[in-house]
Structure 1
Amino acid sequence: MTADPRDLFEVPGPGPYLLSHSVGCLPRGSRARLNKDLLDPWAEEGSDGWSTWLPAIDAFRAGVAGLIGAEVAEVCPQPSVSAALTAILSGLKREPGRDVLLASAHAFATVGFAMRQLGALGFKLELIPEDRNPIDPQSWTDAIGPHVAAIVPMHVHSNSGLVSPMAEIARLARAAGAISVVDACQAVGILPVQPQLWGVDALVGSSVKWLCGGPGAGFLWMRRELIGTFAPINAGWFSHANPFEFDIRDFRYAEDARRFWGGTPAPAPCVLAASGIETVMDIGITAILAANRVLIDTMADAADVEFAMQDRGGTLCLTCDDVDGAEAALRALGCRFDRRRDILRLSFHIWNDEGQARRIGAALRGRVIRLVG
């Protein structure tokens, strides 16, 4: 690693880039990695490039496994979180009277879209309403019952940054006989993600945000002892126990998480994502989170406010009495951030520095800014 981890990324301008919650910056090593693991074998070997591409995909699976403390056999690449969630829930065995899929109305919209479409398989989506706090276990206690087949809580909420008590929510689901599938998109790469320690059944995630792996490389994890009980609808030759058997009359699910894979895999996103994961792991998630907190404190001090970041992810989700004015002040600095309705979202990563944080805080000083939630 170079002396300054900020040198490891190609950072868009013109001002501070604060969009890790959306798309993380491109690691400088990813272009060479893409050439070596995908483009060069394609150009030089054509179809025989698979002898390089499949190990490259396995490197991505291994990276995810190392990141979340899992076995490689429990990890399967997915094109997106929506696809991962659909793959898991479509394979869930229906039990009479247990047909509800439960999420919070505060979840990212794609979660609800994917779950709602499983009505075609006889499931029903129920949402814990917006006026119930999604990180309060009581909100889940009141909603989980014998009719619930699966719950899908978010580890970190995208519109507030609030962190759910995953172990407690998983315990509630388990006691009610429901499976728990965690959406870890806004957590992985900035917070410790420990599904086995939490006691959850499955997890979906993405490489595009804090992991700086680009779009197209989602993933799912499922605890090993549960995998064999799922029969996902989206089956293809790479879901097969032996993809190269080629007997159209004999389909057998892979014994490990690859049963959720489907058809021909896409090496390019996996190659880029593996590079992102390795870069992030080389720096260290602990170091990235520590830098995030220092920069948030520096910004808050310059703005003359206090932000309590306990039980928060890496994103500052802010609201203000004059959101338009606050947005304009940040745009004037050339900041790259986003706005959802009246919420401004800013994410400090390792490539940001304290000078940027001070300028951002100074631009917001005198405004009544506060954390959402």
Structure 2
Amino acid sequence: MAPSPDFDAYRSEFPIVREQLAFNHAGVSPTSQRAANAIREWSEDLLLHGVRYERGWEARTEATRALAARIIGAEPEEIAFVRNTGHGLGLVAEGLDWRPGDEVAVAASIEYPSNVYPWLHLRDRGVNVREIEPREGGVTPEAVAAAITPRTRLVAVSSVQFASGHRTDLEAIGALCERAGVLFCVDGIQSVGCIPVDVKKCRIHFLSADSHKWMIGVAGIGFFYVDRNVLPRVRPVLVGWRSTTDAWNFNQSHFELRPDARKFEEGSHNYAGIYALHAALGLLLEVGVDAVAARIRELLVHADAELRALGCDTGPTPEHRAGILTFLPPRGDVTALAAHLSENLVSFSLRRGRIRLSPHFYIQPAEVDRVVALVRDFSGR
């Protein structure tokens, strides 16, 4: 077994720790010094040299594509860059050849809107959205099995539920979808960068995630995975010069779509975001995704025990947990507690009436203790 990294050695990458208690990586994560430096690197190149070194921008783009593929167990040819998670999910929703009466199974009552609205938008094409009934605050294989009918074309789930923190058993659901001949689409933003993700092992056909949460990148850039076996079945909603096999030939038209996921990239790249994403993914892979997941798990076990000792109602249970812990105080109004934490510079989220904590690997146990102490002070009033 590899030795555990020195997590504290990475704290200098995150100057946010000098100002706040950063427990909101499931919301909007602070970025790293590396990512900020990467943005400056590209900006200064553009400022000082214009497009003279554009080939270097393209090389960094392809290196980033390779890192994105590596972190989820895919191939670079199966990765396209997108603006955000909803962008990738929308490419699936609008790109498949739907027929009236087709069904999409999704737990619309608990999912983040990005994994609901693209499917509801298909109603005017005769596609029905079939509800997966939530169980234990999340989506279970049993609930998915109960929702699938002979008309089901696709199952859409989040890898981790944003509000409850319930971790989805993607491997079991992927196997279930394969047996039923159903496409499997995953909103991966609450898992990529937090826990190991293997799209092949889980038989995932589509996964979309952007980088401003657990990847510790910036908003406006993410990646979209499409399994090579279903790439021909997805029609790009938008096309442009970059979608084609002769992309850099601007002297004549030769409209032939690329056979890989790059066909979904219609025009000029967000190079600043891609440079930041390259730095962010490189940092996570340097630390090691398994080590990151273990560290987050340890922090949440500690937080869970301390909060329960105060009488807080916590969740989800360890077997369903990824990077999120939610809780209610034993006494007092949760909104008042949220205000108390905010006043004391704790970064967190309030989701569906519960405080949501989501620390990353560079957070220290002592910082967990400081949050718990603030809850204790509030509850003792």
The two structures share one fold, judged by TM-score above 0.5: yes
Amino acid at match of 2:234: F
Aligned: 1:311 with 2:315: no
Q: Deviations over 1:91-136 (max 9, x none)?
A: 2123564x22221121111221222223455533333345786422
The answer for the alignment partner of 2:76 in structure 1 is 72
Q: 2:343 & 2:137 partners in 1: Cα distance?
A: 35
Match of 2:39 in 1: 34
Match of 2:11 in 1: 6
Q: What is the aligned counterpart of 1:216 among 220, 224, 227?
A: 220
Distance 1:320 1:130, change over 3 A: farther
CA distance in 1, matches of 2:283, 2:177: 35
**Greater mean alpha carbon deviation, residues 187-196 or residues 104-113:** 104-113
Aligned to 2:348: 337
Counterpart contact for 1:300–1:361, Cα < 8 Å: no
- Superposed displacement of residue 337, structure 1: 0.9
Once structures 1 and 2 are overlaid, which stretch shifts more, 270-279 or 119-128?
A: 119-128
The answer to whether the aligner puts 1:104 opposite 2:107 as a matched pair is: yes
CA separation in 1, counterparts of 2:327 and 2:137? 18
- TM-score of the two chains, using structure 1 as the length reference: 0.89
Name the counterpart of 1:327. Answer: 338
Structure 2 distance, partners of 1:78, 1:127, is 27
Gaps of 5+ in 1: 369-373
Alpha-carbon spacing, 1:53–1:171, altered in 2? closer, same or farther (3 Å): same
- Equivalent position amino acid for 1:326 in 2: L
Return the match for 1:144 from 145, 148, 152: 148
> Which residue does the alignment assign to 1:262?
266
Deviation of 1:13 (Å):
5.6
Match of 1:318, SS state, is strand
Whether the aligned pair in 2 keeps the contact of 1:181 and 1:200 (CA below 8 Å) is yes
Matched, 1:272 2:272: no
Q: Which of these residues, 167, 184, 192, is aligned with residue 171 of structure 2?
A: 167
**In the TM superposition, what whole-angstrom CA distance separates every residue of 1:9-61 from its partner, at most 9, and x where no partner exists?**
2316633111111122221122332233x223312332344312211211221
On the 8 A contact 1:201/1:226 being kept in 2, the answer is yes
**2:188 aligned with 1:184:** yes
Aligned-pair distance for 1:259? Answer: 1.4
- CA distance in 2: counterparts of 1:59 and 1:19, whole angstroms: 28
Give yes or no for contact 2:217–2:276 (8 Å, CA) kept in 1: yes
Does structure 2 conserve the Cα–Cα contact (< 8 Å) formed by 1:81 and 1:205?
A: yes
**Cα 1:167–1:287 shift into 2, 3 Å:** closer
- Post-superposition Cα deviations, 1:275-315, rounded to whole Å, max 9, x if no partner, equal 11111211222222222233223333433168642221111
Amino acid at match of 1:270: I
Confirm whether residue 86 of structure 1 aligns to residue 90 of structure 2: yes
Tell me if the contact between 1:41 and 1:52 (Cα under 8 Å) persists in the aligned partners: no
* Alignment counterpart, residue 61 of structure 1, candidates 61, 65, 82: 65
Q: Does 1:195 align with 2:199?
A: yes
CA contact (8 A) 2:341 2:374 kept: yes
Structure 2 distance, partners of 1:117, 1:336, is 34
SS of the equivalent of 1:225 reads coil
**Paired residue for 1:364, among 350, 375, 379?**
375
Amino acid at match of 1:112: V
Per the alignment, residue 346 of structure 1 pairs with 357
Q: Percent identity?
A: 23
Over 3 Å counting, the alpha-carbon distance change for 1:276 and 1:300 in structure 2 is same
Letter in 1 for 2:325: L
Which residue identity lines up with residue 84 of structure 2 in the other structure?
S
Q: Distance in 1 between matches of 2:297 and 2:378?
A: 21
Contact 2:133 2:143 in 1 (8 A): no
In structure 2, the residue corresponding to 1:152 is in which secondary structure? Answer: strand
Structure 1 residues 163 and 282, CA gap change in structure 2 (3 angstroms): same
TM-score (norm 2): 0.87
Structure 1 distance, partners of 2:372, 2:356, is 14
Unaligned runs of 5+ in 2: none
- Could you give the per-residue CA deviations for residues 152-207 of structure 1, whole angstroms, max 9, x where no partner exists? 11111101111111122122222332211111100111101111001121211111
Note the aligned Cα RMSD (angstroms): 2.5
Contact 1:239–1:260, Cα closer than 8 Å, also in 2 = yes
Deviations 1:76-100 (CA, angstroms, capped at 9, x unpaired): 1001111111112322123564x22
Aligned partner of residue 50 in structure 2, secondary structure: helix
Taking a change above 3 Å as real, the CA distance of residues 332 and 96 of structure 1, as seen in their structure-2 partners, is closer
